[in-house]
Amino acid sequence: MSATPLPSTPGALGGLRVIEMGQLIAGPFAGKTLGEFGADVIKIEAPVGGDPLRNWRLTKEGTSVWWQVSSRNKRSIALDLRAAEGQAIARLLIKEADVLIENFRPGTLEGWGMGWDDLRALNPGLVMLRVSGYGQTGPYRDLPGFGAIGEAMGGLRHLTGEPGRVPVRVGVSIGDTLAALHGTIGVLTALYHRKVNGGLGQVIDVALNEAVFNVMESLIPEYGAFGVVREAAGSALPGIAPSNAYRCVDGYALIAGNGDSIFKRLMEAIGRNDLGTAPDLGSNAGRVARVVEIDAAIECWTLVRRVDEVLEVLGAARVPAGKVYTAKDIYEDPHYRARDMILTQTTRDGYQVDVPGVVPKLSVTPGTLRTSAPHLGEDTDSVLEQIGLSSEQIAQLRSKGIVA
């Protein structure tokens, strides 16, 4: 199949070659992030079916629209990594790469002769990102792990939902994306170390549960110091007051009035200067002690107002507040548009799809959407030719089903 050439505006990571062996969410999200800032990401997929994400959730022209986000700025080669010949080709690709991303179960690559010791001997400068359920070491390393399980084991699920009810999940694969972002930080850190310390690569070992655990704030210090097990609290933020979702005539308003000066402005805005000037409510500790009273006062005010009115009044008072956005709200919000956070790209199948923009915003070398998500194996021939295979060799591999 013909390849799609990379454009001549490479971005901050231009010249960096990444081999992505992962599938579904965590590994590919890390690859997506590197690709948005200019890295040449070569995605290896199984010849039959490819990455299962191609078919997840809603599809158009036979392909998931989620795929159009996850795999933009990537090139696809279809290669059977279970076959010895496929593994040999993978080694050739890795030999010339800067970064390898993989999210197989620990031990899989070792079984294929592509463990860290093998690859380090082949390419001493390689940076290898390994994402797995529980990490490459420890008693749980061989257990299968998905993001949902990492969220539970990392402590997030216990805190999500209403008190005394079934723990609920965040509506997206947050465990996977947290792992991917930690992995991306690790890759960039390792690349910097390689640059200033003699060109040697290293392994980044990211566990799904640890990525979640890393953002759990005071969970462990509070238990270690006081024996306190933090519990689910619905929309409130225990120990920080006031910060909650408050009912309005037509929905909910999220209000964060937990700064000392912000609290005073909030109370003035809702006509409760008696609370705003109360000496014991001038600090967070005092407000936490009376949080039920404060929340009741705020909701008494919001209950007779529409969300937009609440936000207008609190915006004028410089009190952080917002509505609970749906996809429609995001799509129609002018602020998202003004910051290029919703972009339109043309897919390989010729239709247009709206996709999220690039985060973070860099002033000199911003991330870009250079190419749309590839068809399965569309870059196989050009990539293999780049590492020295002839068209005859590629044709022979294709006849065996090693490549597609």
Q: So which residues are the catalytic ones?
A: 176
Q: Please provide the DSSP assignment of 7-68 as one string.
A: PS---TTTT-EEEE---SSHHHHHHHHHHHTT-EEEEEE-TTT--GGGGSSSEETTEEHHHH
Cα 179 to Cα 212: distance, rounded to the nearest angstrom = 7
Which one, of 105, 100, 203, lies nearest residue 146 by Cα? 105
Helix, strand, or coil (residue 150): helix
Cα 116 to Cα 111: distance, rounded to the nearest angstrom = 11
CB 358 within 8 Å of CB 367: yes
Bridge partners, residue 99, by sequence:
18, 127
* Residue 368 burial (CB count, 10 A): 19
Q: Residue 282's Cα: distance from chain center in Å?
A: 38
Residue 145 has which token pair? 């792990």
* Residue 4 burial (CB count, 10 A): 18
* Residue 81 burial (CB count, 10 A): 20
Cα 256 to Cα 262: distance, rounded to the nearest angstrom = 9
Q: Please provide the DSSP assignment of 285-312 as one string.
A: HHHHHTHHHHHHHHHHHHTTS-HHHHHH
Helix, strand, or coil (residue 346): strand
Residue 46 has which token pair? 């199984």
